[in-house]
Amino acid sequence: MNMGRTGFIFDLDGVIVDTAKYHYLAWKKLADELGISFTEEDNENFKGVSRNRCLEILLEMGDLTVSQAQFSAWLAEKNEDYLAYIAGMDETEILPDVPRALEHLRGRNVPIALGSASKNAAPILEKVQLLPYFDTLVDGNSVTKAKPDPEVFLIAAEKLGVAPEDCVVFEDAVAGIEAANNAGMTSIGIGDADILDKADYNFKDFTEIDTEFLDDLLR
Ligand code: BG6
Ligand code: MG
């Protein structure tokens, strides 16, 4: 373990790329089919939450109990719709100033990990050509416990060889900020500060994060 060295962990959806809107549209389509009302506000509870758990929540909202086969079919349908949305993704869908931050951190030679609940993380990073910035990817395929459990970030810290208390996490989800806090890491909320009020720091997006702030995190 490299004590004292700072590790950076980025969530994917809603932090690096604006895919939260595609997740919302895909869930909304399924919700409409099932006659369940689903708003953007409801979608906040889906951010950072595994695909499986999202469908459980949606069915709870509609008071529906279904067979395992039906559950799997709807899960697959949502993912197919989501994949259709992201099929044409390219670098233009990277959120503002994310490449600048990644480039700056790379220049400082700090280890960088992805910490995402998504099982689609690797192909998305590849499409937007940001894969080379990451030393390791920890995603929905490598965890058993979903955020707010700290597992995803603790695995990322271990893979980076950095102590959890020396890691910084960028997150747009309430569950993700809780996961980072539960891991004993520094949490940085990206988005609405009122929603992400448990974060150690809050920024609307990366345009508000200057290089001095990033460098201060290294000390
Ligand atoms: C998270 C998103 O990053 O990934 C959630 O914030 C999503 O909304 C979760 O449900 C799982 O993503 P996927 O791509 O595996 O369905
Ligand atoms: Mg997210």
In angstroms, rounded to a whole number, what is the distance separating the alpha carbons of residues 155 and 147?
13
- Give the rounded distance of the alpha carbon of 132 from its chain centre: 18
Q: Ligand 1 centre from 109 Cα, in Å?
A: 29
Q: What are phi and psi of 89, to 5 degrees?
A: -65, 145
- Which residues have CB under 8 Å from 126's CB, separation 6+? none
In angstroms, rounded to a whole number, what is the distance separating the alpha carbons of residues 76 and 85?
14
**The pLDDT value given to residue 5:** 85
In angstroms, rounded to a whole number, what is the distance separating the alpha carbons of residues 74 and 121?
21
- Annotated catalytic residue within 13, 139, 166, 172: 13
Q: Whose CA is nearest to atom 8 of ligand 1?
A: 47
In angstroms, rounded to a whole number, what is the distance separating the alpha carbons of residues 169 and 172?
10
Ligand showing the shortest atom-to-Cα distance for residue 190: 2
**The pLDDT value given to residue 208:** 98
- Ligand 1 binding residues, C-beta < 6 A: 12-13, 23, 46-51, 54, 79, 116-120, 140, 173
Helix or strand (DSSP H, E) at 66: none
Q: What are phi and psi of 20, to 5 degrees?
A: -55, -35
DSSP symbol at 159: H
- Annotated catalytic residue within 11, 139, 166, 172: 11
Mark whether 13 is an active-site residue.
Answer: yes
Q: Whose CA is nearest to atom 12 of ligand 1?
A: 118
Low-confidence ranges of the chain (pLDDT < 50): 1-3
If one residue of 118, 153, 169 were mutated to test the ligand 1 pocket, choosing by the most ligand atoms within 8 A of its CB, it would be 118
**20-34 and 68-86 helices, crossing angle to 10°:** 140
Let me know if 152 is exposed, middle or buried by CB neighbors in 10 A (0-12, 13-18, 19+): buried
Tokens 């969530």 — which residue? 11
Q: Whose CA is nearest to atom 1 of ligand 1?
A: 48
Mark whether 166 is an active-site residue.
Answer: no
**The pLDDT value given to residue 1:** 45
Ligand showing the shortest atom-to-Cα distance for residue 176: 2
Which amino acid does the sequence have at 52? N
Atom of ligand 1 nearest to the CA of 53: 10
What pLDDT digit, counting tens, does each position of 118-150 carry? 999 999 999 999 999 999 999 999 999 989 999
Global pTM value = 0.93
